[in-house]
């Protein structure tokens, strides 16, 4: 099994008139494939997975696989609340091209999501799925946080190979890294901390920012790996305002608008999310221009 490393963008799902535009998806992939990205996340939070039907999720995975070279990994977001439905979706995703499953923590019954609940859920899923499992911890959306001790226990399972930790907390990331073996792949889940995450021992990142600035995200990773730490940190600092704008400030709508501004296809989010208004777009454009991203792309 090829281990997780480097940079993965969590692909957006392009819509036209509320329907998925596979032509726009292909257009984005044609551009992304020119970069040395390790692969793509399909059906993640930034892909608006909560607004997709099962058939749409599977068709998206198949389409991305069709337009992506075999050396790039496809990581499918297949986590659902129940063990049974998660196993079924994951195994079908594997049949249409997924290499890994990104499985978010169950969270509807927040107060009942204890250490034992997480152990039981992930172990039962990992035992029955055909592809390796990556835990997805994203407290801002789920309201639950899986502890380092729980992750360490789950990391002992041969089919649980990594975690995407999207909490903007480097100390938490360090704690996870210090409690798991070196072959367990800990991935940063936000562009604001990719450099300190690498310093802490993360293998790479799943970054919304890489949808907008794939070259720059890869450059941080490459600079770090050749020991140019000052340069990597400087580039990280330049990109932090961009990452904030497309995540915390404007969310998926901002990410999609930023993609439009730098030459990819973002489009509108699916309802009930709303696109940015003109003032917000102008503010976003200033942020991208200050980071030289619009100038570099156009």
pLDDT 10s digits, 244-258:
999 999 999 999 999
Say how far apart CA 125 and CA 94 lie, in whole Å.
Answer: 14
Token pair recorded at residue 242:
């961009």
Are the C-beta atoms of residues 193 and 210 closer than 8 Å to each other? no
Whole-Å CA distances, 96 to 90, 197, 213: 10, 32, 28
Question: Structural domain boundaries of the chain?
Answer: 6-226
Residue 177 has pLDDT above 50, yes or no: yes
Tell me how far apart the alpha carbons of residues 248 and 13 are, in angstroms, rounded to a whole number: 19
Q: For 37-49, what is each residue's pLDDT tens digit? A: 999 999 999 999 9
Q: Whose CA is closest to 43, among 4, 83, 86, 82?
A: 86
Cβ-count burial 68-85 (b if 16+ within 10 Å, e if not): beeebbbbbbbbbeebee
Q: What average pLDDT does this structure show over 54-77?
A: 98
- Is the C-alpha dihedral spanning 245, 222, 3, 200 positive or negative? negative
Angle between helices 22-32 and 54-66 (to 10 degrees): 40
Q: What pLDDT is recorded for position 298?
A: 45
Residue 260 pLDDT greater than 60, yes or no: yes
Query: 72, 164, 174, 203: which one is catalytic?
Result: 164
297: confidence class by pLDDT, cuts 50, 70, 90? very low
pTM of the full predicted structure? 0.96
Whether 54 is catalytic is no
Burial of 231 (0-12, 13-18, 19+ CB in 10 A): middle
Q: Is the pLDDT of residue 27 over 60?
A: yes
Total residue length of the chain: 298
Asked if 9 and 37 touch (Cβ cutoff 8 Å), the reply is yes
Give the pLDDT score at 296: 47
Rounded to whole angstroms, how far apart are CA atoms 187 and 173?
9
Please report which confidence band the pLDDT of residue 1 belongs to, taking 50, 70 and 90 as the band edges. low
Look at residue 103 in the predicted model and tell me its pLDDT.
99
Give the pLDDT confidence score for residue 3 in this predicted structure. 77
Mean pLDDT of the 97-114 span: 98
244 touches 291 (CB < 8 A): no
pLDDT of residue 62: 99
* 259 pLDDT tier (thresholds 50, 70, 90): very high
| CATH number among 3.20.20.70, 3.30.420.270, 3.40.50.1000, 3.40.190.10, domain 6-226 | 3.20.20.70
For residues 73-95, average pLDDT:
99
pLDDT band, residue 295 (cuts 50/70/90):
low
User: Could you identify the residue written with the tokens 């995975």?
Assistant: 61
């Amino acid at each position: 099994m090829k281990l997780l490393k480097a940079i993965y963008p969590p692909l957006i799902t392009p819509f036209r008139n509320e329907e998925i535009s596979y032509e726009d998806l292909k257009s984005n992939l044609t551009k992304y494939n020119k970069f040395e990205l390790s692969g793509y996340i399909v059906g993640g939070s930034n892909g608006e997975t909560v607004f997709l039907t099962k058939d749409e999720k599977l068709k998206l995975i198949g389409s991305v696989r069709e337009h992506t070279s075999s050396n790039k990994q496809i990581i499918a977001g297949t986590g659902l609340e129940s063990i049974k439905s998660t196993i079924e979706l994951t195994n079908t995703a594997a049949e249409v091209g997924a290499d890994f499953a990104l499985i978010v923590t169950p969270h509807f019954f927040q107060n009942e999501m204890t250490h034992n609940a997480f152990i039981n859920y992930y172990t039962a899923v990992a035992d029955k799925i055909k592809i390796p499992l990556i835990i997805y911890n994203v407290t801002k959306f789920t309201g639950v946080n899986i502890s380092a001790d729980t992750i360490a226990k789950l990391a002992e399972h041969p089919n649980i190979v990594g975690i995407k930790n999207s909490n903007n907390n480097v100390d938490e990331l360090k704690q996870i890294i210090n409690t798991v073996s070196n072959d367990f792949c800990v991935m940063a889940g936000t562009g604001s901390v990719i450099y300190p995450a690498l310093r802490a021992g993360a293998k790479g990142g799943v970054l919304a920012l890489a949808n907008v600035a794939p070259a720059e995200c890869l450059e941080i990773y490459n600079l770090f790996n050749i020991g140019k730490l000052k340069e990597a940190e400087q580039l990280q600092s330049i990109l932090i305002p961009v990452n904030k704008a497309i995540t915390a400030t404007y969310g998926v709508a901002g990410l999609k608008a930023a993609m439009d501004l730098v030459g990819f296809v973002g489009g509108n989010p699916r309802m009930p999310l709303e696109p940015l208004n003109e003032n917000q777009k102008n503010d976003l454009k200033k942020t991208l221009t200050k980071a030289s991203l619009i100038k570099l792309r156009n």
